[in-house]
Amino acid sequence: QIISKPLSDPIRSHKDLDKGSAPLYNKAVKFYEEIGNQLVHQGHVLDLFACALDQVGVAEMKVAVERTGGIVVLAESFGHSVFKDSLRHIFQSSDSDLGLSFNGIFEINCSKDVKIQGIIGPCTSLEKKGPLSSDTVIGQGNTSAWKMCGLDRKTSLCIVFDMAKKDAPDAIGQSQNNLFYFQFLTYYQHHDGQMRLRSTTISRRWVAGSGSVQELITGFDQEAAAAVMARLVSFKMEAEVDFDPVRWLDRALISLCSKFGDYQKEAPSSFSLSPRLSIFPQFIFNLRRSQFIQVKHFFCPNSVSHADQQIKRIEFLFAPN
Protein backbone atom coordinates (compact mmCIF):
# COMPACT_ATOMS: atom_id res chain seq x y z
CA GLN A 1 0.00 0.00 0.00
CA ILE A 2 1.36 3.39 -1.07
CA ILE A 3 -1.26 5.80 0.23
CA SER A 4 -4.41 5.67 2.32
CA LYS A 5 -7.80 5.28 0.65
CA PRO A 6 -9.76 8.22 2.18
CA LEU A 7 -9.73 11.17 -0.21
CA SER A 8 -9.85 13.49 2.78
CA ASP A 9 -6.21 12.67 3.62
CA PRO A 10 -3.84 15.37 2.33
CA ILE A 11 -1.56 14.63 -0.60
CA ARG A 12 1.95 13.90 0.58
CA SER A 13 4.99 15.75 -0.69
CA HIS A 14 8.73 15.12 -0.66
CA LYS A 15 8.91 17.20 2.52
CA ASP A 16 6.61 14.66 4.19
CA LEU A 17 8.98 11.89 3.12
CA ASP A 18 11.97 13.77 4.49
CA LYS A 19 10.25 14.42 7.82
CA GLY A 20 8.96 10.87 8.12
CA SER A 21 5.34 12.01 8.22
CA ALA A 22 4.25 9.64 5.43
CA PRO A 23 3.22 6.62 7.56
CA LEU A 24 3.11 4.03 4.75
CA TYR A 25 6.35 5.03 3.03
CA ASN A 26 8.94 2.97 4.92
CA LYS A 27 6.90 -0.24 4.77
CA ALA A 28 6.36 0.20 1.03
CA VAL A 29 10.07 0.83 0.41
CA LYS A 30 10.98 -2.32 2.35
CA PHE A 31 8.45 -4.30 0.32
CA TYR A 32 9.90 -3.13 -3.00
CA GLU A 33 13.44 -3.73 -1.74
CA GLU A 34 12.50 -7.37 -1.28
CA ILE A 35 10.93 -7.38 -4.75
CA GLY A 36 14.11 -5.84 -6.14
CA ASN A 37 16.29 -8.49 -4.52
CA GLN A 38 14.13 -11.22 -6.02
CA LEU A 39 14.26 -9.60 -9.47
CA VAL A 40 18.05 -9.34 -9.29
CA HIS A 41 18.37 -12.98 -8.26
CA GLN A 42 16.21 -14.08 -11.20
CA GLY A 43 17.80 -11.66 -13.67
CA HIS A 44 14.67 -9.67 -14.49
CA VAL A 45 14.45 -5.97 -15.40
CA LEU A 46 11.67 -3.80 -13.98
CA ASP A 47 10.50 -0.94 -16.19
CA LEU A 48 7.85 1.46 -14.92
CA PHE A 49 5.37 3.32 -17.14
CA ALA A 50 3.00 5.46 -15.09
CA CYS A 51 0.66 8.36 -15.71
CA ALA A 52 -1.00 10.40 -12.96
CA LEU A 53 -0.77 13.82 -11.38
CA ASP A 54 0.46 12.39 -8.07
CA GLN A 55 0.64 9.41 -5.73
CA VAL A 56 2.02 6.92 -8.26
CA GLY A 57 4.54 5.37 -5.89
CA VAL A 58 7.69 5.88 -7.96
CA ALA A 59 9.56 6.91 -4.81
CA GLU A 60 8.85 3.50 -3.28
CA MET A 61 9.45 1.48 -6.45
CA LYS A 62 12.58 3.25 -7.61
CA VAL A 63 14.90 0.97 -5.62
CA ALA A 64 13.71 -2.05 -7.60
CA VAL A 65 14.00 -0.15 -10.89
CA GLU A 66 17.52 1.06 -10.12
CA ARG A 67 18.89 -2.30 -9.01
CA THR A 68 17.62 -4.07 -12.13
CA GLY A 69 18.68 -1.42 -14.64
CA GLY A 70 15.13 -0.47 -15.60
CA ILE A 71 13.72 2.83 -16.83
CA VAL A 72 10.93 5.13 -15.67
CA VAL A 73 8.50 7.01 -17.88
CA LEU A 74 6.20 9.25 -15.84
CA ALA A 75 3.72 11.75 -17.30
CA GLU A 76 0.41 13.38 -16.44
CA SER A 77 -1.67 11.20 -18.78
CA PHE A 78 -1.27 8.32 -21.21
CA GLY A 79 -2.19 10.68 -24.03
CA HIS A 80 0.61 13.13 -23.21
CA SER A 81 3.11 13.59 -26.03
CA VAL A 82 6.06 13.03 -23.70
CA PHE A 83 4.72 9.65 -22.64
CA LYS A 84 3.82 8.50 -26.15
CA ASP A 85 7.10 9.66 -27.68
CA SER A 86 9.13 8.08 -24.87
CA LEU A 87 7.27 4.78 -25.16
CA ARG A 88 7.71 4.77 -28.93
CA HIS A 89 11.42 5.56 -28.62
CA ILE A 90 12.04 2.77 -26.13
CA PHE A 91 10.47 0.11 -28.34
CA GLN A 92 12.05 1.25 -31.59
CA SER A 93 14.23 -1.62 -32.74
CA SER A 94 14.80 -3.54 -35.93
CA ASP A 95 14.72 -6.80 -33.97
CA SER A 96 12.34 -8.17 -31.38
CA ASP A 97 15.11 -8.27 -28.77
CA LEU A 98 15.22 -4.46 -28.46
CA GLY A 99 19.00 -4.64 -28.38
CA LEU A 100 19.02 -5.91 -24.79
CA SER A 101 21.25 -8.48 -23.09
CA PHE A 102 20.58 -9.99 -19.69
CA ASN A 103 22.05 -11.61 -16.56
CA GLY A 104 25.22 -9.57 -16.77
CA ILE A 105 28.05 -9.62 -14.24
CA PHE A 106 30.45 -6.70 -14.26
CA GLU A 107 33.81 -7.28 -12.59
CA ILE A 108 36.87 -5.07 -12.12
CA ASN A 109 40.52 -5.99 -11.69
CA CYS A 110 43.18 -3.33 -11.21
CA SER A 111 46.69 -2.69 -9.99
CA LYS A 112 47.37 -2.77 -6.27
CA ASP A 113 48.07 0.98 -6.32
CA VAL A 114 44.38 1.62 -7.10
CA LYS A 115 41.31 0.80 -5.01
CA ILE A 116 37.64 0.66 -5.99
CA GLN A 117 35.42 3.03 -4.03
CA GLY A 118 32.20 1.99 -5.74
CA ILE A 119 29.82 2.33 -8.67
CA ILE A 120 26.85 4.62 -9.27
CA GLY A 121 24.55 3.21 -11.91
CA PRO A 122 22.05 0.48 -12.90
CA CYS A 123 23.60 -2.48 -11.08
CA THR A 124 23.56 -4.36 -7.77
CA SER A 125 26.52 -5.32 -5.61
CA LEU A 126 27.45 -9.00 -5.52
CA GLU A 127 29.37 -8.36 -2.27
CA LYS A 128 32.63 -9.78 -3.59
CA LYS A 129 34.92 -8.26 -1.00
CA GLY A 130 38.67 -8.31 -1.37
CA PRO A 131 41.89 -6.29 -1.37
CA LEU A 132 40.69 -4.18 -4.31
CA SER A 133 37.97 -2.52 -2.23
CA SER A 134 38.63 0.90 -0.74
CA ASP A 135 37.72 1.82 2.81
CA THR A 136 35.91 4.87 1.43
CA VAL A 137 32.62 3.82 -0.18
CA ILE A 138 30.77 5.80 -2.84
CA GLY A 139 27.63 4.26 -4.30
CA GLN A 140 27.75 0.46 -4.25
CA GLY A 141 31.15 -0.36 -2.81
CA ASN A 142 32.96 -2.99 -0.72
CA THR A 143 32.94 -5.26 -3.76
CA SER A 144 34.65 -5.80 -7.11
CA ALA A 145 31.68 -7.43 -8.90
CA TRP A 146 28.14 -6.28 -9.66
CA LYS A 147 25.01 -7.84 -11.18
CA MET A 148 23.46 -6.15 -14.22
CA CYS A 149 20.07 -7.64 -15.02
CA GLY A 150 19.73 -5.77 -18.30
CA LEU A 151 22.28 -3.95 -20.41
CA ASP A 152 22.63 -2.56 -23.91
CA ARG A 153 25.04 -0.44 -25.93
CA LYS A 154 24.02 2.70 -24.04
CA THR A 155 24.34 1.32 -20.51
CA SER A 156 26.50 3.70 -18.50
CA LEU A 157 28.25 3.22 -15.15
CA CYS A 158 30.15 5.72 -13.04
CA ILE A 159 33.11 4.00 -11.37
CA VAL A 160 34.99 5.83 -8.62
CA PHE A 161 38.57 4.84 -7.80
CA ASP A 162 40.94 5.81 -5.05
CA MET A 163 44.72 5.92 -4.98
CA ALA A 164 46.18 3.62 -2.37
CA LYS A 165 48.00 5.47 0.40
CA LYS A 166 51.75 5.76 0.07
CA ASP A 167 54.39 6.18 2.74
CA ALA A 168 55.98 9.05 0.84
CA PRO A 169 54.63 11.56 -1.68
CA ASP A 170 57.21 10.51 -4.25
CA ALA A 171 56.29 6.85 -3.99
CA ILE A 172 53.65 7.24 -6.70
CA GLY A 173 55.13 6.22 -9.97
CA GLN A 174 57.79 3.97 -8.51
CA SER A 175 56.02 0.80 -9.63
CA GLN A 176 57.34 -1.19 -12.55
CA ASN A 177 57.34 0.80 -15.82
CA ASN A 178 55.49 3.58 -14.00
CA LEU A 179 52.19 2.06 -15.18
CA PHE A 180 48.97 0.90 -13.61
CA TYR A 181 46.06 -0.91 -15.25
CA PHE A 182 42.32 -1.50 -15.15
CA GLN A 183 40.56 -4.58 -16.45
CA PHE A 184 36.79 -4.63 -16.94
CA LEU A 185 35.11 -8.04 -17.37
CA THR A 186 31.49 -8.15 -18.52
CA TYR A 187 29.71 -11.52 -18.60
CA TYR A 188 26.23 -11.44 -20.11
CA GLN A 189 23.63 -13.54 -21.88
CA HIS A 190 23.02 -12.52 -25.48
CA HIS A 191 19.43 -12.43 -26.72
CA ASP A 192 20.07 -15.62 -28.74
CA GLY A 193 20.90 -17.46 -25.50
CA GLN A 194 24.70 -17.46 -25.76
CA MET A 195 26.79 -16.49 -22.75
CA ARG A 196 29.47 -14.01 -23.72
CA LEU A 197 32.45 -12.38 -22.05
CA ARG A 198 33.88 -9.00 -23.01
CA SER A 199 37.24 -8.09 -21.51
CA THR A 200 38.67 -4.58 -21.71
CA THR A 201 42.12 -3.85 -20.32
CA ILE A 202 43.62 -0.37 -20.28
CA SER A 203 46.81 1.01 -18.81
CA ARG A 204 47.70 4.47 -17.62
CA ARG A 205 50.91 6.10 -16.50
CA TRP A 206 51.47 7.80 -13.16
CA VAL A 207 52.44 11.44 -13.39
CA ALA A 208 53.84 13.55 -10.59
CA GLY A 209 55.37 16.96 -10.09
CA SER A 210 54.65 20.34 -11.65
CA GLY A 211 55.11 18.99 -15.17
CA SER A 212 52.13 16.66 -14.82
CA VAL A 213 49.48 19.39 -15.01
CA GLN A 214 49.59 19.68 -18.80
CA GLU A 215 49.38 15.90 -19.21
CA LEU A 216 46.30 15.77 -17.02
CA ILE A 217 44.69 18.61 -18.99
CA THR A 218 45.38 16.82 -22.27
CA GLY A 219 43.50 13.75 -21.06
CA PHE A 220 40.54 15.64 -19.56
CA ASP A 221 37.07 14.89 -21.00
CA GLN A 222 34.71 17.76 -20.19
CA GLU A 223 31.48 15.99 -21.12
CA ALA A 224 32.36 12.86 -19.14
CA ALA A 225 33.45 14.96 -16.16
CA ALA A 226 30.12 16.84 -16.18
CA ALA A 227 28.17 13.56 -16.21
CA VAL A 228 30.28 12.21 -13.34
CA MET A 229 29.72 15.35 -11.27
CA ALA A 230 25.98 15.11 -11.90
CA ARG A 231 25.91 11.48 -10.79
CA LEU A 232 27.96 12.22 -7.67
CA VAL A 233 25.87 15.19 -6.59
CA SER A 234 22.62 13.26 -7.21
CA PHE A 235 23.89 10.39 -5.10
CA LYS A 236 25.04 12.66 -2.28
CA MET A 237 21.71 14.49 -2.24
CA GLU A 238 19.93 11.21 -1.57
CA ALA A 239 22.49 9.59 0.73
CA GLU A 240 23.75 12.43 2.94
CA VAL A 241 21.66 14.40 5.41
CA ASP A 242 21.92 18.21 5.24
CA PHE A 243 24.05 17.99 2.10
CA ASP A 244 24.43 21.34 0.28
CA PRO A 245 24.79 20.50 -3.43
CA VAL A 246 25.38 24.09 -4.57
CA ARG A 247 28.25 24.66 -2.14
CA TRP A 248 29.74 21.24 -2.99
CA LEU A 249 29.71 22.00 -6.72
CA ASP A 250 31.17 25.46 -6.12
CA ARG A 251 34.04 24.07 -4.07
CA ALA A 252 34.77 21.39 -6.67
CA LEU A 253 34.86 23.98 -9.45
CA ILE A 254 37.06 26.36 -7.45
CA SER A 255 39.46 23.54 -6.67
CA LEU A 256 39.74 22.55 -10.33
CA CYS A 257 40.26 26.13 -11.52
CA SER A 258 42.89 26.85 -8.88
CA LYS A 259 44.89 23.75 -9.84
CA PHE A 260 44.59 23.86 -13.62
CA GLY A 261 43.85 27.51 -14.38
CA ASP A 262 46.43 30.03 -15.53
CA TYR A 263 46.28 33.29 -13.58
CA GLN A 264 48.23 35.96 -11.77
CA LYS A 265 47.55 36.66 -8.13
CA GLU A 266 45.31 39.67 -7.44
CA ALA A 267 44.56 40.01 -11.16
CA PRO A 268 41.17 38.37 -11.85
CA SER A 269 41.18 39.43 -15.51
CA SER A 270 44.29 37.34 -16.11
CA PHE A 271 42.53 34.06 -15.37
CA SER A 272 42.23 31.63 -18.28
CA LEU A 273 41.55 27.94 -18.80
CA SER A 274 42.77 25.53 -21.43
CA PRO A 275 40.26 24.82 -24.24
CA ARG A 276 40.10 21.27 -22.84
CA LEU A 277 38.62 22.75 -19.63
CA SER A 278 36.86 25.91 -20.79
CA ILE A 279 33.33 24.48 -21.16
CA PHE A 280 33.34 22.55 -17.87
CA PRO A 281 32.53 25.64 -15.71
CA GLN A 282 29.48 26.26 -17.92
CA PHE A 283 28.33 22.69 -17.34
CA ILE A 284 28.63 23.13 -13.57
CA PHE A 285 26.91 26.54 -13.67
CA ASN A 286 23.89 25.13 -15.53
CA LEU A 287 23.80 22.08 -13.28
CA ARG A 288 23.85 24.06 -10.02
CA ARG A 289 20.94 26.28 -11.08
CA SER A 290 18.88 23.52 -12.70
CA GLN A 291 15.84 21.70 -11.33
CA PHE A 292 18.02 18.70 -10.58
CA ILE A 293 19.73 20.65 -7.79
CA GLN A 294 17.13 23.22 -6.77
CA VAL A 295 14.69 20.60 -5.51
CA LYS A 296 13.32 22.78 -2.70
CA HIS A 297 11.49 24.91 -5.20
CA PHE A 298 10.68 22.29 -7.84
CA PHE A 299 10.54 18.57 -7.10
CA CYS A 300 12.27 15.74 -5.31
CA PRO A 301 14.40 13.44 -7.50
CA ASN A 302 13.15 10.44 -5.51
CA SER A 303 9.56 11.02 -6.52
CA VAL A 304 10.12 11.43 -10.23
CA SER A 305 12.73 9.08 -11.58
CA HIS A 306 15.93 7.36 -10.67
CA ALA A 307 19.37 8.90 -10.97
CA ASP A 308 20.29 7.42 -14.33
CA GLN A 309 17.26 8.98 -15.97
CA GLN A 310 18.35 12.33 -14.52
CA ILE A 311 21.84 11.85 -15.92
CA LYS A 312 20.53 11.06 -19.39
CA ARG A 313 18.50 14.26 -19.36
CA ILE A 314 21.43 16.24 -17.98
CA GLU A 315 23.74 14.85 -20.66
CA PHE A 316 21.19 15.83 -23.30
CA LEU A 317 20.83 19.30 -21.75
CA PHE A 318 24.59 19.83 -21.68
CA ALA A 319 25.30 18.44 -25.16
CA PRO A 320 27.49 21.11 -26.83
CA ASN A 321 25.83 20.59 -30.22
Do 202 and 213 reside in the same domain of the chain? no
In a domain, 8, yes or no: no
Q: What local confidence, expressed as pLDDT, does residue 210 receive?
A: 62
Do 81 and 185 reside in the same domain of the chain? no
Do 241 and 198 reside in the same domain of the chain? no
In a domain, 5, yes or no: no
Do 74 and 103 reside in the same domain of the chain? no
CA atoms of 313 and 265, how far apart (whole Å): 38
Q: What CATH number is given to the structural domain containing 311?
A: 1.20.120.730
Do 40 and 68 reside in the same domain of the chain? yes
Do 124 and 86 reside in the same domain of the chain? no
Q: What local confidence, expressed as pLDDT, does residue 11 receive?
A: 78
In a domain, 42, yes or no: yes
In a domain, 292, yes or no: yes
Predicted confidence (pLDDT) per residue in 188-210, tens digit? 998 888 999 999 999 988 887 66
Predicted confidence (pLDDT) per residue in 93-137, tens digit? 766 777 889 999 999 999 988 999 999 999 999 999 989 999 999
Do 55 and 130 reside in the same domain of the chain? no
Tell whether the model's pLDDT for residue 14 goes beyond 80: no
Q: pLDDT tier at 87 (50, 70, 90 boundaries)?
A: confident
Domains contained in the chain, number: 3
Q: What local confidence, expressed as pLDDT, does residue 238 receive?
A: 87
Predicted confidence (pLDDT) per residue in 152-168, tens digit? 888 999 999 998 755 44
CA atoms of 39 and 62, how far apart (whole Å): 13
Q: What local confidence, expressed as pLDDT, does residue 22 receive?
A: 87
Predicted confidence (pLDDT) per residue in 230-248, tens digit? 999 999 998 888 899 999 9
In a domain, 261, yes or no: yes
In a domain, 33, yes or no: yes
| Region of residue 99 (phi > 0: left; psi between -120 and 50: alpha; otherwise: beta) | left
Q: What local confidence, expressed as pLDDT, does residue 175 receive?
A: 47
Q: What local confidence, expressed as pLDDT, does residue 177 receive?
A: 62
Do 78 and 120 reside in the same domain of the chain? no
In a domain, 2, yes or no: no
Q: What local confidence, expressed as pLDDT, does residue 94 receive?
A: 66
Q: What local confidence, expressed as pLDDT, does residue 7 receive?
A: 83
Predicted confidence (pLDDT) per residue in 54-81, tens digit? 678 888 999 999 999 998 998 888 898 9
Q: What is the mean pLDDT of residues 298-310?
A: 41
Do 105 and 202 reside in the same domain of the chain? yes
Do 221 and 163 reside in the same domain of the chain? no
CA atoms of 233 and 238, how far apart (whole Å): 9
Question: Which of 163, 191, 207 is the C-terminal boundary of a domain?
Answer: 207
Question: Which of 28, 56, 90 is the C-terminal boundary of a domain?
Answer: 90
Domain that holds residue 303: 209-321
Tell whether the model's pLDDT for residue 307 goes beyond 70: no
Question: Which of 207, 224, 246 is the C-terminal boundary of a domain?
Answer: 207
In a domain, 296, yes or no: yes
Average pLDDT, the chain: 84
Question: What angle, 0 to 180 degrees and rounded to 10, lies between the N-to-C axes of helices 222-239 and 245-260?
Answer: 150
Q: What CATH number is given to the structural domain containing 112?
A: 2.60.40.1670
pTM of the model: 0.81
Positions of E strands within the chain:
48-51, 72-75, 101-110, 114-120, 124-125, 145-151, 158-163, 179-189, 195-205, 262-264, 267-272
